[in-house]
Amino acid sequence: MGCKISTEFCADNPVASTSKVHPSDLATSSLPIKPVEFYDPPQPVNNDQIFRKVSLTKKESKEKETRRISLQVEPKKVKRSSRREYLDFPEFATSSHKVFIAELYHGKSTAKWNFQVIPMLTTFFSSSYTRIQRSKNTASRRFSIDTSRAKSNQFVVSLCAKKIGIIEYPEGRPDKQPSDVYWHNVVLSDMNKIVTSPHSKVNKFPGMTELAKKISLTHAISSMQKLFPDEYAFYPKSWFLPAHLTDFHTYYRKCQAAGKMEMWFIVKPDEGAQGTGIYLISNPSQIRDVDQQQLVQEYIADPMLMGDKLKFDFRVYGVIKSINPLSIYVAREGMARFCTEKYEKPDSSNFKNLYAHLTNYSLNKANEAYVHSNTLQDQTKGSKRLLSTVFHQLESRGIKTKKLWHDIKLILVKTTLAMLPEIMLHYEHHFYDSPGPQCFQIMGFDVMIRDDGTPILLEVNAAPSLTADHVVPYPGRSLTEGGQRVRSIVDEVIKMPLVRDTLLLIFPTRYGAHSGHLLFLDKAMYIYMQFVQLRNNVNITGAGLKQFVRKCNLADVMPIAQVDVKVAEINYYFTGDRQASGNGLPFHAFLMFLFFVAEKKFHMESDLLAKVQRLLSFCDMSLRHYGVRSARLRRAEVDSSIGNVEIYMLPSRMARNRSGRYGQKEMDANNNPNSFSHLPRITERL
């Protein structure tokens, strides 16, 4: 059986997975481009606050930068408890992923709790979130970033790197040493040749470009829609052509038979972007080329409109910090893109007017009615606005923006969960012969709001634009006659903090760097958990220990017959009681047992830490034969001789019955070391 197992699975790197950054770090050092004071819009932004800030900073613009920082508007006083939300996802609890949503909350020197962390599942780490205060001293070690393949991202990335003290190598490192971070503008197929060190981080997941394309995304969401129809109702009904043409016809006829005459669909080429090749139809016979790979989607004809009657949608940015454990951050600031002509429900007279139906910047900028914004005041009426501004505008129209934002975050999480299996698969596939670096990625989620306030996901962008400039027409002329490239204030306000906070997010802080290596015993805990009857006890019994020794193939150094003697000895050490313990050994007593076994089995190693590390890896390997029981152990195993891929999925450890308690069935299934057979095993032919 040819097993390929990588020892590092993305953010398995303990340093990276535990570090939490406090963005007040951001309010330091030189602020590279103007207008820096705009970088921290609170959410939702109150326009008065923006204006006040602008006027203050104008007045003080000649002052020193530190002065400017102190003039920043005080963040809205929100009670810490009220800014924390808990999401309950019983249906996703079948995975032992820890899912964090935190909001990148931009550079408040006074804010204490800038990241909003929402642990979706109770795992061992979910409570270990620590607030990290800014260090007075700069980090002792300077990190490096290779931007030689960042292309259009380079401007923003390079400024952010400079701002937070990361050394940039725009041409790659001359000394050929690996950089700490590689920033690419697209997913490169030879990423494994460029990023060779498992300690490096790279801003793209392999395969993500493909996975985020319209058809792949629809596949991923459709699977989830079949399993959780209500949870995934946020994605419009879709058909991929040519394969689903008959289904589409059948659906159309069914609707007609049910008396639904006014139906509109939107046709999008799979490879398309920026609105190219998109058109509206009201009848399947209007599809231009039925043999082309494309997506036909139910057209959402009731978008929410504001006073100007222009259709708009949001680009919300999510950062997938790691996939194991799954850790997603949602940027609090985003973009709202507006159409340039008034919206009316599609009909035969207006369905070709894409300026009213599509919100794409690249399309609308060609329209004379496009409103460029040169200041933050302008953008409140511009064609491209801050998400927070529009939220504020919606709020003043009576929309419950808190709920809306909550629902949007759920869409981001659910969509990422739908894409996750394939992200993992691509990662393992791409780095099948190497440990692989830690990947992270900024994703753009396009979300439109229905008239009734429900958000709808339109598409996911694996490489959202990170440019911070735009072309504006010369005065009195149209853009078709050329224009001038100028900085876009709206883009700066959104993208600078996004990139800067993402960089901060992936680097260990002072605390993470100093103590990341201490995150180590969780591995022992995962093993321990598998041999404890958690329903009854948190201690491991003698019988559990014997199972552990047997399943982990340790009987050569710890004969089964001697386990009871050892347990009694350790028990005495812990309780002072010479009688054999009926309650079993607590975790730290189990650790003592582990240390003892490690000393015997790996005596050639120099110190206890190395011995225990070896033992834990050995146990992981041994336990794989019985099915994988924790996220850390999950691996795709490839049997090359018969061409099968076996993916061991996780047991539904967290499944609860109605009373909120663990069901007997799940408990037996998950915690009885004799019953490994329940573990779902997916075997596919390659």
State the residues that interact with ligand ADP by CB under 6 A.
236, 266, 268, 272-276, 278, 297, 299-300, 313, 358-360, 446, 458-459
Of residues 213 and 510, the one with the C-beta less far from ligand ADP: 213
- Identity of the residue numbered 117: V
| Alpha-carbon separation of residue 321 from 18, 105, 160 (angstroms) | 11, 16, 18
Taking the complex as a whole, the smallest distance from the CB of residue 550 to ligand ADP amounts, in Å, to 55
Sign of CA dihedral 388, 394, 398, 399: negative
- Identity of the residue numbered 528: Y
425: part of which helix (H) or strand (E)? helix 401-430
Q: Give CA–CA dist 593/598, Å, rounded.
A: 9
Of residues 35 and 455, the one with the C-beta less far from ligand ADP: 455
Of residues 159 and 460, the one with the C-beta less far from ligand ADP: 460
- Identity of the residue numbered 280: L
**First vs last Cα of the chain: how many Å apart?**
15
| Alpha-carbon separation of residue 507 from 19, 206, 634 (angstroms) | 7, 20, 25
Summarize the chain as % helix, strand, coil (round to 5). 35, 15, 45
Of residues 351 and 648, the one with the C-beta less far from ligand ADP: 351
Of residues 205 and 299, the one with the C-beta less far from ligand ADP: 299
Of residues 280 and 540, the one with the C-beta less far from ligand ADP: 280
Q: Write the DSSP string, 93-112.
A: TTS----EEEEE----SS-S
Of residues 361 and 572, the one with the C-beta less far from ligand ADP: 361
Q: Which residues contact 405 (CB under 8 A, 6 or more apart)?
A: 391
Q: Give CA–CA dist 474/483, Å, rounded.
A: 5
Taking the complex as a whole, the smallest distance from the CB of residue 353 to ligand ADP amounts, in Å, to 13
Taking the complex as a whole, the smallest distance from the CB of residue 354 to ligand ADP amounts, in Å, to 8
Structure tokens at 525: 């805990």
Backbone angles phi, psi at 189, to 5 degrees: -70, -25
Q: Which residues contact 677 (CB under 8 A, 6 or more apart)?
A: none
Q: Give CA–CA dist 203/499, Å, rounded.
A: 11
SS3 548: helix
Of residues 266 and 594, the one with the C-beta less far from ligand ADP: 266
Structure tokens at 144: 């490096």
Of residues 276 and 484, the one with the C-beta less far from ligand ADP: 276
Taking the complex as a whole, the smallest distance from the CB of residue 421 to ligand ADP amounts, in Å, to 23
Of residues 422 and 459, the one with the C-beta less far from ligand ADP: 459
H helix runs in 195-292, sequence order: 208-212, 214-227, 245-257
Taking the complex as a whole, the smallest distance from the CB of residue 177 to ligand ADP amounts, in Å, to 39
CB atoms within 10 A of CB 141: 9
Of residues 300 and 598, the one with the C-beta less far from ligand ADP: 300
Taking the complex as a whole, the smallest distance from the CB of residue 268 to ligand ADP amounts, in Å, to 5
Of residues 172 and 272, the one with the C-beta less far from ligand ADP: 272
Taking the complex as a whole, the smallest distance from the CB of residue 270 to ligand ADP amounts, in Å, to 10
Backbone angles phi, psi at 676, to 5 degrees: -80, -15
Instruction: Work out whether strand 455-461 and strand 167-169 pair parallel, antiparallel, or are unpaired.
Output: unpaired
Taking the complex as a whole, the smallest distance from the CB of residue 340 to ligand ADP amounts, in Å, to 12
Taking the complex as a whole, the smallest distance from the CB of residue 152 to ligand ADP amounts, in Å, to 17
Task: Quickly tell me which residue has 């150094």 as its tokens.
Answer: 557
Of residues 366 and 538, the one with the C-beta less far from ligand ADP: 366
CB-count burial class (<10 Å; 0-12, 13-18, 19+) for 298: middle
Strand order in the sheet with 279-281: 238-241, 294-298, 265-269, 279-281
16: part of which helix (H) or strand (E)? helix 14-18
Task: Quickly tell me which residue has 């985020």 as its tokens.
Answer: 212
CB atoms within 10 A of CB 577: 10
Contact 98, 125 (CB under 8 A): yes
Q: Give CA–CA dist 333/389, Å, rounded.
A: 9
Taking the complex as a whole, the smallest distance from the CB of residue 360 to ligand ADP amounts, in Å, to 5
Taking the complex as a whole, the smallest distance from the CB of residue 252 to ligand ADP amounts, in Å, to 16
Taking the complex as a whole, the smallest distance from the CB of residue 284 to ligand ADP amounts, in Å, to 16
Taking the complex as a whole, the smallest distance from the CB of residue 387 to ligand ADP amounts, in Å, to 14
Task: Quickly tell me which residue has 């609170």 as its tokens.
Answer: 42
Name the DSSP letter for residue 185.
S
Of residues 298 and 599, the one with the C-beta less far from ligand ADP: 298
Name the DSSP letter for residue 315.
E
Taking the complex as a whole, the smallest distance from the CB of residue 301 to ligand ADP amounts, in Å, to 7
Q: Give CA–CA dist 605/204, Å, rounded.
A: 37
Of residues 278 and 319, the one with the C-beta less far from ligand ADP: 278
CB-count burial class (<10 Å; 0-12, 13-18, 19+) for 561: exposed
Of residues 210 and 668, the one with the C-beta less far from ligand ADP: 210
Taking the complex as a whole, the smallest distance from the CB of residue 466 to ligand ADP amounts, in Å, to 17
CB atoms within 10 A of CB 74: 11
Taking the complex as a whole, the smallest distance from the CB of residue 295 to ligand ADP amounts, in Å, to 8
